Chain A
Amino acid sequence: MNSENTILSIKNVVKHFDISGGFLDQLTIKKGKICLEKVTVKAVNDVSLFVKKGETLRVVGESGCGKSTLARVVMGLYPLNSGEIYYNGNRIDNLTHAQMLPVRKKMQMIFQDPYASLNPRKTVQQTLEEPLRFHNPDMSNGEIDDKIDLVMEQVGVDQAWIKRYPHEFSGGQRQRISIARGLILDPEFIVADEPVSALDVSIQAQILNLMMKAGRERGLTYLFITHDLSVVRHISTRVAVMYLGTLCELAAAADLFANPRHPYTNALLSAIPKVGEKGAKHIKLKGEVPTPIHLPTGCVFHGRCVYADKRCSAEVPLLLEQKDGTFVACHAVEEGRPID
């Protein structure tokens, strides 16, 4: 899995959140005994994947599947419970704040909510200036202004607006400013957490085009988190499908849409509403989505899977490489049980 081409690889990453609160909240009575009980959300469980230089890897999944947590874990915003993260072959999850700084310059993030991701009390100029001044203390004012002008032009924000505050902009313009902040340090790797899902349909296309253009011009590598599968098909090299904190399938985008292997991927793809296709058959999943607090045993999907058997409810399936290079974590696929 590791080669010269790999820009980022994560190995067996586990991230659990303790939501049990204070000491008093943890007290529970069980079988007549008072004991402490911790409640943890198992957001990401043993996920391994790698991102190749210059590609756009999409992580898809429904709400609560741990995709946003994965993005933040990669960016070092959350400490790991266990596992390793490598950037350009160097381990980054155990670095100190100071050691991490040169890496931060190369990895940037674009956030979901353009209304929350810009500091409401800072002008566009202040927002864009901050990372530049912080990472390049010897840059002159003129150089900084030039750089800001250049990036603003690239993302299509009028330079006359530089002194304005975020609330004076629409959602689409804010997202452009947010992208400008992500690009201003000339990063090589960008994690985008649902960058268009808060925007209107006609604006979504503008922002996606902008990100693709920036990707081409700058040779960026994207890790793109999304729940919108129609977006996935359009711009991605490979797609990783997540369900309840685990990776179900990792495949080249074209392969995934043409030939989904994992039963969950199948159901997900059939649920996308397509314009002009009336009465399309959805694959009906049984049961309810379990919570990440009480994970099912074995394969996390077995409770909703029509192909599940005894083995599925007992044993966690491994992410195995198939003949064509896709990775699937499913006992049925591994055993060659019939799946349509």
Chain B
Amino acid sequence: MTKLQKFKESYFLYSFKRDKVAIGSFLILVTLLMLAITAPWIAPMNPYDAENIDIMNSEIPPMWSEGGESVYPLGTDNMGRDMFSTMLYGLRTSMIIAGGAVLLQATLGILVGLTAGYFGGRTDAFLMRMADIQFSFPYLMVAIFIGAIFQVVFGIGSYERLAVPLLIVIIGLAEWPMYARTIRASVIGEVNKEYVEAARVIGLSRPTIMIRHVLPNSLTSVMVISTIQVANAVMSEAALSYLGLGMPVTTPSLGSLIRSGFEFIFSGSWWITVFPGIWLILFVLVINLLGDWLRDVLNPKLYKG
């Protein structure tokens, strides 16, 4: 039986096809992803390029409102950038940061969780207390702290250039204990199973058993929390940017767009805040809905064979 055929007959696909919410969320998510990836080609203008921006075009309302122009379907922001293009680019930036942060979280968390769960005893106690300590710091405090150190070391001038990796590190460091705890719990469950004993009887070394036998069986839970973590990371990034600790206004993410619009909301330019806000909510919502569905499907208690 080929892999494709197996997939076609799987419970996974079956439950997906029956769940309208999952299908809808999946379609929206794919569309958003495609838009973000292809932003440089499909966006009407490049909002990062100062040559395209004309301050005279600032705060043009959406095309269906009075004074709107069809060149700028969703209007322009206070700097004269096309909202639609900026949102596409902003989503792209948000996704890169969220993806990178989750990757970092997962790597750190899996490493710590696997070690803690497999070795147990003092190693376990030490690593998990570390995770607890990390969790007890609000990530905003961590962000301010790291941001301050960073600006001292590299200088404020290079901040714009290094904002993306910086945010990845900050959000990545703030949330790894989520992964560590999940992995540890699932590793502790797996380690006592007989197949691990069988691997020990063969004489395999501990690292080999951990990586080749225990880890693949713990990855299901990683998949489930990853969806939620991506959504969380997008939110964290938006929150940081909103507070001015994230992406600079020149290369905006969704959060910094919302922030820059907020200053003008009382002067009537609601679209600068509202459109990126909807954009953000839509993105986070579909990820969470998909994550919910995935958790139900992969729940080992419900899922057999």
Is A108 within 8 A of B217, CB to CB? no
Instruction: Output the least CB separation between A96 and chain B (Å).
Output: 11
The reply to whether B201 and A109 form a contact with Cβ atoms under 8 Å apart is: yes
Residue from the list B194, B202, B204, B305 in contact with A111, Cβ < 8 A:
B194
Q: A167 interface residue, CB < 8 Å from B?
A: yes
Q: Contact: A117 with B201, CB < 8 Å?
A: no
Q: Which of A72, A105, A134 contacts B204 (CB 8 A)?
A: A134
State the Cβ distance, B55 to closest chain A Cβ, in Å.
Answer: 59
User: In angstroms, how far is the closest chain B Cβ from the Cβ of A85?
Assistant: 15
Dominant SS among interface residues on chain B = helix
A216 to B205: give the CA distance in the assembly, Å. Answer: 32
Output the least CB separation between B68 and chain A (Å). 56
Q: Which residues of A contact B200 (CB under 8 A)?
A: 77
Number of interface residues of A (CB under 8 A): 29
Q: Contact at A116–B195, with CB atoms within 8 Å?
A: yes
CB distance from B189 to the nearest CB of A (A): 11
B194 engages A100 (CB within 8 Å): no
Question: Within B259-305, which residues are at the interface with A (CB < 8 Å)?
Answer: 305
Asked if A100 and B305 make an inter-chain contact with CB atoms under 8 angstroms apart, the answer reads no
Is the CB of A121 closer than 8 A to any CB of chain B? yes
0 or 1 for each of A166-199: is its CB under 8 Å from B? (1 = yes): 0100000000001001000100000000000000
B73 to chain A, nearest CB (A): 49
Whether the pair B195, A118 counts as a contact (CB closer than 8 A) is yes
A residues near B213, Cβ cutoff 8 Å: 119
The reply to whether the CB of A272 lies closer than 8 angstroms to some CB of chain B is no
Given contacts A22-B125, A167-B305, contact A117 B203 (CB under 8 A): no
Q: B198 to A111, Cβ gap below 8 A?
A: yes
Decide: B217 and A134 in contact? CB cutoff 8 A.
no
Residues of B within 8 Å of A118, CB to CB, are 195, 198
Tell me if A130 and B217 are in contact (CB < 8 A): no
Determine how close the nearest CB of chain A comes to the CB of B215; give it in whole angstroms.
10
Interface pair B205/A104, CB less than 8 Å apart:
no
Min Cβ gap B219→A in Å is 9
**Which residues of B have CB within 8 Å of A131?**
202-203
Contact among B193, B201, B205, B217 for A75, CB-based, below 8 A: B201
Report A139-166 CB contacts with B as 1/0, cut-off 8 Å. Answer: 0000000000000000000000000000
Residues of A within 8 A of B217 (CB): 119-121
Q: Is A112 an interface residue (CB 8 A)?
A: yes
Q: Which of B125, B194, B305 interacts with A113 by CB under 8 Å?
A: B194
Q: Are B194 and A97 interface neighbours, CB within 8 A?
A: no
Q: Which among A117, A120, A185 is the interface contact of B198 at CB below 8 angstroms?
A: A117
B132 contacts partner chain A, Cβ-Cβ < 8 Å = no
Give chain A interface residues in 56-115, CB to chain B under 8 Å. Answer: 72, 75, 77, 97, 100-101, 104-105, 107-109, 111-113
- With a cutoff of 8 Å between Cβ atoms, the chain A residues found around residue B203 in the complex are 97, 100-101, 104-105, 131, 134-135
Interface pair A116/B205, CB less than 8 Å apart: no
Residue in contact with B201 in the complex, picked from A77, A119, A121, CB distance below 8 Å:
A77
Answer yes or no: B216 CB below 8 A from chain A CBs. yes
Please give, as numbers and ranges, the residues of chain A lying within 8 Å of B160 by CB-CB distance: none
A109→B197 contact, CB < 8 A: yes
> Which residues of chain A from 220 to 257 have a CB within 8 Å of any chain B CB?
none
**What chain B residues lie within 8 Å of A116 (beta carbons)?**
193-195
- A104→B198 contact, CB < 8 A: no
- CB neighbours (8 Å) of B202 from chain A are 104, 130-131, 134-135, 185
Q: Chain B residues near A111 (CB, 8 Å)? A: 194, 197-198
Of residues 175 through 205 on chain B, the ones whose CB sits less than 8 Å from some CB of chain A are 193-195, 197-205
Find chain B residues with CB under 8 A from A75 CB: 201
For residue A179, give the distance in angstroms from its CB to the closest CB of chain B: 12
Q: Which residues of A contact B201 (CB under 8 A)?
A: 75, 77, 104, 107-109
Interchain nearest-CB distance for B222 vs A (Å): 14
**Bound CA span A111–B197, Å:** 9
A119 near B195 (CB under 8 angstroms)?
yes
B82 to chain A, nearest CB (A): 49
Task: Give the chain A neighbours of B125 by CB distance below 8 A.
Answer: 22
Instruction: Report B-chain residues with C-beta under 8 Å of the C-beta of A113.
Output: 194
Q: Nearest-CB distance from A181 to chain B (Å)?
A: 7
**Closest CB of chain B to A278's CB: distance in Å?**
38
Q: Give the complex CA separation of A104 and B205 in angstroms.
A: 12
Given contacts A116-B193, A119-B213, A121-B217, contact A109 B198 (CB under 8 A): yes
For window 19-74 of A, CB contacts with B under 8 Å fall at 22, 72
Question: How distant is the Cα of A291 from the Cα of B193 in the complex, in angstroms?
Answer: 24
Rounded to whole Å, the gap between the CB of A20 and the closest CB of chain B is 13
Kindly report which residue of chain A lies nearest to residue B198, judged by CB atoms.
A117
**Complex Cα gap A112–B193 (Å):** 11
Which residues on the B side are within 8 Å of A120 (C-beta)?
195, 217
For residue A127, give the distance in angstroms from its CB to the closest CB of chain B: 9
Q: Which residues of B contact A (CB under 8 A)?
A: 125, 193-195, 197-205, 213, 216-217, 305
Residue numbers of A with Cβ under 8 A of B are 22, 72, 75, 77, 97, 100-101, 104-105, 107-109, 111-113, 116-121, 130-131, 134-135, 167, 178, 181, 185
* A-B residue pairs, 5 tightest by C-beta: A117-B194, A104-B203, A111-B194, A131-B202, A116-B194
Apart from A109-B201, A117-B197, A121-B216, 18 more pairs, CB < 8 Å: A75-B201, A77-B200, A77-B201, A97-B203, A109-B198, A111-B194, A111-B198, A116-B193, A119-B199, A119-B217, A120-B195, A130-B204, A131-B202, A131-B203, A134-B203, A135-B202, A167-B305, A181-B198
Can you list 14 A-B contacts with CB-CB less than 8 angstroms, sorted by A residue number? A22-B125, A75-B201, A97-B203, A101-B203, A108-B201, A109-B197, A117-B193, A117-B195, A117-B197, A119-B199, A120-B195, A130-B202, A134-B204, A181-B198
